[in-house]
Amino acid sequence: MRLFSSTLSALSLGLLATTFAPAPALAGGIGIDLLAGTHTEKVYFFDAEDTKFSETQQTPTWGVGFQTILGDRDDTLIGIMKFGYINDAAASSAVTTPDDFEGDVSQVTARLDCEDDFAGNPCGPRALATISAGLQWRVWGDPMGLQVSVLPSVGAGIVTTDSTEYIQLELGPGVHYAISKELQVHAEVAYQVRYRKTFSQGATMTIGTRWLFD
């Protein structure tokens, strides 16, 4: 899985480089971001009769990111590479038992908080590095003022502490405002799908600052 994720990331980077090769050599920018959002954690638990149940929990994600921009600020379509260091919060053993549940919860299997009575090893938040390649498509506004964009991307969680690398897809809107010719602030919200053996979903929010040059 790790090899597949790394290969996908390399292919995405190559695709962007090929797509935007005709652009001015020095047109682009760099940025720094604060990241927040949610992700899903699957929790398995058993009743007194050893019947297996499961629950999908939405838990927080947070982190910091760095991005590089390829393309002129006036272009309708520009390329973006994003690199992140994030933490996925653990799940909870405080599950909601269904109507046919018998007795007390006898076992919980998931990545849980280390203080949880059912916690195993590893436990606590999952730290990982991410990489993605995407586009920023301006659909309204002035690149020297306020603009609204759509941002699709493909990427991966490439370095994890427990070998749980995954593929991710994101799509969502963004608002960008140019304070000056070189300085831009932005906020973006995206729907995210992750794939590792099965699909999971969540949302991400990014706020940050970019320094643009040409």
**pLDDT computed for residue 26 by the predictor:** 67
Q: What is the band of 161 on the pLDDT scale with cuts at 50, 70, 90?
A: confident
Residue 82's closest CA among 39, 29, 38?
29
**pLDDT computed for residue 11 by the predictor:** 46
Complete domains list, the chain, with CATH: 2-39+57-103+113-213 (2.40.160.20)
**pLDDT computed for residue 13 by the predictor:** 47
SS3 36: strand
- 3-state percent helix, strand, coil for the chain, nearest multiple of 5: 10, 60, 30
